[in-house]
Structure 1
Amino acid sequence: MGQRSHYIASRKGLIVNTSSGGAVRYTFGVPFGVQKAGVDKMAKDMAHDLKPFNVAAVVIWPGFVNSEKFLAQADRVPAPLAKRIMESVKSSEFARRAVVGLAADPAIMEKSGRLQLVAELAQEYGFTDTDGRMPSAPSRV
């Protein structure tokens, strides 16, 4: 079993991977897009392999997060997206609240292998960002 032994022994679990729309549209360049697309595919394949063990694997897209790394790279965002992005920037806490909701979801296996937009999870689970906003969901394409 090797690396899987830590989460299969309990016969239940949740693995959350973080990705973004960079998986389906140009954002910061080729390496960024390829990495994000790989994360999305990895979550889908993990869900397939781990289903017999009752371990869910999902990928979340939090949208643009107001992090030091993002702010340092803001000038690399394509101009047409820049204004829309800056209006929709979210706190890292917003994504954390989504993970808490997923972990508490008794029907989590129904979401396994699927892309989860954090803003849609906020609507489903009833949480907001730290400033009380309900940010809009990024486009899936």
Structure 2
Amino acid sequence: MGVAYGMAKSATNRMTETMAHELKEHNISVVTIYPGLVRTESVMKSAEFFDLSNSESTEFIGLAISALATDLNVLKKSGTKQIAAQVALDYGYKDIDGKQPIPLNISSCQ
């Protein structure tokens, strides 16, 4: 991971935490959702260079947003980072192609 990318991700995480703190009294939840490898047009043009076995459709992150937006207890997750594939597991849905992407995190990549 490049330094600039890491700094941007860190800034997004901090902004999420701060906004969640500020908006809690208004019952507004703020979460950051990170996708895995998304099958965008650019990725698909270079598909020969990627292992797409755990990739996600472009619609998958929208399903994560929908699941969180309809959760009556989402305020408990406010200020957190969510991985789209973990959200799918937590809420019991799959990608539009029927596959279940595996959330990539430190423990799953060791």
Normalising by the smaller structure, the TM-score range is 0.7 to 0.9
More strand by share: 1
1:91 CA drift (Å): 0.7
User: 9, 16, 21: which is aligned to 1:43?
Assistant: 16
1:54 CA drift (Å): 0.7
Alignment gaps of 5+ in structure 1: 1-25
The two structures have a TM-score, normalised by structure 2, of: 0.83
Flag the 1:104–1:45 CA change in 2: closer, same or farther, 3 A. same
User: 82, 96, 107: which is aligned to 1:130?
Assistant: 96
Flag the 1:73–1:31 CA change in 2: closer, same or farther, 3 A. farther
Establish whether residue 93 from structure 1 lines up as the match of residue 59 from structure 2.
yes
Take 2:64 and 2:8, find their aligned partners in 1: how far apart are those partners?
22
Structure 2: which amino acid aligns with 1:68? E
Flag the 1:50–1:63 CA change in 2: closer, same or farther, 3 A. same
RCO higher in 1 or 2 (8 Å CA, sep ≥ 6)? 2
Alignment gaps of 5+ in structure 2: none
Flag the 1:65–1:95 CA change in 2: closer, same or farther, 3 A. same
- After superposition, residues 1-141 of structure 1 pair within 5 angstroms as 26=1, 29-71=2-44, 83=51, 86-139=52-105
1:9 equivalent in structure 2 = none
Structure 1: which amino acid aligns with 2:70? A
Q: Which portions of structure 1, spanning 4 or more consecutive aligned residues, are displaced by more than 4 angstroms?
A: 69-74
Take 1:116 and 1:94, find their aligned partners in 2: how far apart are those partners?
13
Identity, % of aligned pairs? 35
Structure 2: which amino acid aligns with 1:56? S
Take 1:137 and 1:118, find their aligned partners in 2: how far apart are those partners?
7
Structure 2: which amino acid aligns with 1:49? E
Q: What do you get for the CA RMSD once the two structures are aligned?
A: 2.3
Take 2:53 and 2:17, find their aligned partners in 1: how far apart are those partners?
30
1:87 CA drift (Å): 2.5
Structure 2: which amino acid aligns with 1:50? L
